[in-house]
C-alpha cells in the first residue's frame, strides 16, 4: 500500500486562554503513517487529541480528503440541496456555481438526489438547513462529504446524533465510498465494525496502533480509564 502521510516527532499545540502563556500541547506524535487502504478508527476520551489530529491530517491532505466535521457546519440560510452542492464548489467554475445556486440544473438535482436517498434526507432537499434536527443536519453534512468525491475520508464523530442502526449503515456507506478513511468516534464498537486499523489516544499521546483483529477489550478499556 502506498504511503499517503508520515508524521515524525510531531507536536500539535493549541493556543492558551491565558494572555502571554505559551501554547498548550494537544498531541505528541513520535511516529504515525497513513497508507492507502487504511480504514482507521481514531479512539480516545474527549480531550485526548482526536479532533486536533484530524485537523492536522486534513491540513496535509486537503486536496485529496473529504471532510465531515463534528458540528455539521452547514450554512443555515441555504437549503439542504445547496449545502450538499457546496461539497463540489472546487470542481466547477464560479459561473456554474452561481447558476446552480439560482437555477439548479437537472444534472445537479439528480446527483444530489442520488446521495440523499440512502441517507434518508430526500424529503428535506428544499428545506433550509436551520429548520432541521441535529440528526438531519448531520446526515446533510455526510452527503456533502460524499459529494466532495475525494479518495480519503476524514470524519469527526460523523454519526453521533444518529441511533445505532442508522449510524452503522451510514458508516458502512462512507467506508464503501472512500478507499482510505480516518474516523474519530467515542463509540468504539460501532466504528471498529467498518475499520481495519485502530489508533488509540490517551494523555496527549498515541497509546496503541494496531490492526482491528489484534485489538483486545482490555486495550480499549485502558483508553477510557
Burial class of 1 by CB neighbour count within 10 A (0 to 12, 13 to 18, 19+): exposed
- Domain parsing of the chain, residue ranges: 74-149
- The pLDDT assigned to 14 comes to 85
Query: Measuring CA to CA, how many Å separate 211 from each of 39, 107, 196, 216?
Result: 10, 41, 6, 10
- The pLDDT assigned to 137 comes to 98
- The pLDDT assigned to 78 comes to 97
Query: Measuring CA to CA, how many Å separate 36 from each of 33, 45, 180, 201, 217?
Result: 10, 26, 6, 21, 27
- The pLDDT assigned to 27 comes to 96
pLDDT tens per residue, the chain (225 residues)?
Answer: 799 999 999 999 988 888 888 888 999 999 999 999 999 999 999 989 999 999 999 999 999 999 999 999 999 999 999 999 999 999 999 999 999 999 999 999 999 999 999 999 999 999 999 999 999 999 999 999 999 999 999 999 999 999 999 999 999 999 999 999 999 998 999 999 999 999 999 999 999 999 999 999 999 999 998
- The pLDDT assigned to 20 comes to 80
Amino acid at each position: 500500500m502506498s504511503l499517503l502521510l508520515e508524521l515524525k516527532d510531531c507536536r500539535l499545540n493549541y493556543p492558551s486562554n491565558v494572555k502571554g502563556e505559551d501554547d498548550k500541547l494537544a498531541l505528541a506524535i513520535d511516529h504515525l503513517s497513513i497508507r492507502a487502504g487504511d480504514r482507521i478508527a481514531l479512539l480516545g476520551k474527549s480531550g485526548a487529541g482526536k479532533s486536533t489530529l484530524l485537523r492536522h491530517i486534513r491540513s496535509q491532505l486537503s486536496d485529496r480528503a473529504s471532510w465531515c466535521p463534528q458540528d455539521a457546519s452547514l450554512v443555515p440560510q441555504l437549503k439542504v440541496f445547496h449545502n450538499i452542492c457546496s461539497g463540489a464548489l472546487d470542481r466547477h467554475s464560479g459561473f456554474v456555481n452561481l447558476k446552480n445556486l439560482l437555477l439548479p440544473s437537472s444534472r445537479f438535482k439528480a446527483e444530489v438526489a442520488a446521495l440523499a436517498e440512502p441517507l434518508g434526507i430526500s424529503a428535506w432537499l428544499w428545506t433550509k438547513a436551520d429548520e432541521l434536527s441535529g440528526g438531519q443536519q448531520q446526515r446533510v453534512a455526510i452527503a456533502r462529504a460524499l459529494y466532495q468525491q475525494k479518495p480519503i475520508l476524514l470524519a469527526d464523530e460523523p454519526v453521533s446524533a444518529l441511533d445505532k442502526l442508522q449510524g452503522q449503515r451510514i458508516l458502512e456507506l462512507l467506508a464503501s465510498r472512500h478507499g482510505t478513511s480516518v474516523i474519530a468516534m467515542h463509540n468504539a464498537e460501532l466504528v471498529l465494525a467498518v475499520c481495519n486499523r485502530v489508533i488509540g489516544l490517551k494523555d496527549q499521546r498515541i497509546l496503541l496502533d494496531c490492526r482491528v483483529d489484534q485489538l483486545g477489550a482490555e486495550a480499549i478499556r485502558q483508553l477510557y480509564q
